Amino acid sequence: MTNSETIKKVWFITGSSRGLGRNLTESVLANGDNVVAAARDTTQLKELLTAYPEQLYPVQLDVTNKEQIHQAVGRAIDHFGRIDVLVNNAGFGITGATEGFTDEQVRSQLETNLYAPIEITRAVLPYMRKNRSGRILQISSVGGRVGHIGLSIYQAAKFGLSGFSEALAKEVAHLGIYVTSVEPGGFRTGWAGDSMTYAQQIEGYEIVDQRIDMFKSGDFIPMGDPDKAAGVMIELVEHPQPPVHLILGSEAISILKHADAVRTEELEQWMPVSVSTDHADAVNFLETEQGKALLKKG
């Protein structure tokens, strides 16, 4: 097949006007594919639309609005005929002591970073299922695998997204749909800058205040390059067997390796207590036919 005959993929990218979503949108367009660029403010995409009038289709989307989600997905299908790659990227960070967050801050964090990608995924899945193909990239975080001081609510959403993605990947693989939870460490996208919000500071949580001060000072310089991350994701959707979890950045790798070692040590230390709760007539579940079958299926 020649380059001129190559079928362009159709990407649906949320949060496409800034941060990692913007880098990815620009890279996908430069690579020759089509993009449904979903953003709260599509005027920020004018420059890209001028450069790629045939490839770029901006759609206004507040990801917390269920009606808008289904309208945006429907418009994307009407315009390009399909969605090959869904990237749930839209989101924001929030830092503070757990008891310092307002109800609105907790709600908005979960709605944007967890409920929204679940609903958008549910809206796109019927089209991918019909085509028996598709790639879904959920932009989670290494904070969806490891908890950190001051990020409890943000990481509640990201842990949920990573878990949702892992279960979904097992559910839809036989349909030709592959799901990857992309879990970056710190990247130079403004996440800890303009995109960061904060809880009211509470007396006694100086350990949290130190993290807030670090973010607000501007001294926090992430190691990750968003253009390189975009390149990896473009290659990822071509891979015949993509990972369910993909950690991005050496910082994130170090954090996860340390966390895994601590968890393994804790598991071994407390294993006698764990197994002591089995019923007296219980047998090792993994040695049963049912257990073996479940392990094989994942």
Q: Does position 283 have pLDDT exceeding 90, yes or no? A: no
What is the Cα–Cα distance from 190 to 187, expressed in whole angstroms? 8
Active site residues: 140, 154, 158
Specify whether the CB–CB gap between 13 and 222 falls below 8 A.
no
Q: Does position 113 have pLDDT exceeding 50, yes or no? A: yes
Within a domain: 188: yes
Q: pLDDT averaged over the chain? A: 89
Question: Which tokens sit at 140?
Answer: 């989670």
pLDDT band at 223 (very low <50, low <70, confident <90, very high): low
Q: In this structure, what are the phi and psi dihedrals at residue 163, rounded to the nearest 5 degrees?
A: -70, -45
User: What CATH number should be reported for the domain holding residue 86?
Assistant: 3.40.50.720
Q: How many domains is the chain built from?
A: 1
Q: Where in the sequence is the domain holding 209, given as residue range(s)?
A: 8-248
pLDDT band at 27 (very low <50, low <70, confident <90, very high): very high
Q: What number is the average pLDDT over the span 150-161?
A: 95
Specify whether the CB–CB gap between 23 and 226 falls below 8 A.
yes
Within a domain: 275: no
pLDDT band at 188 (very low <50, low <70, confident <90, very high): low
For residue 275, the model assigns a pLDDT of 86
Within a domain: 266: no
pLDDT band at 4 (very low <50, low <70, confident <90, very high): very low
Within a domain: 284: no
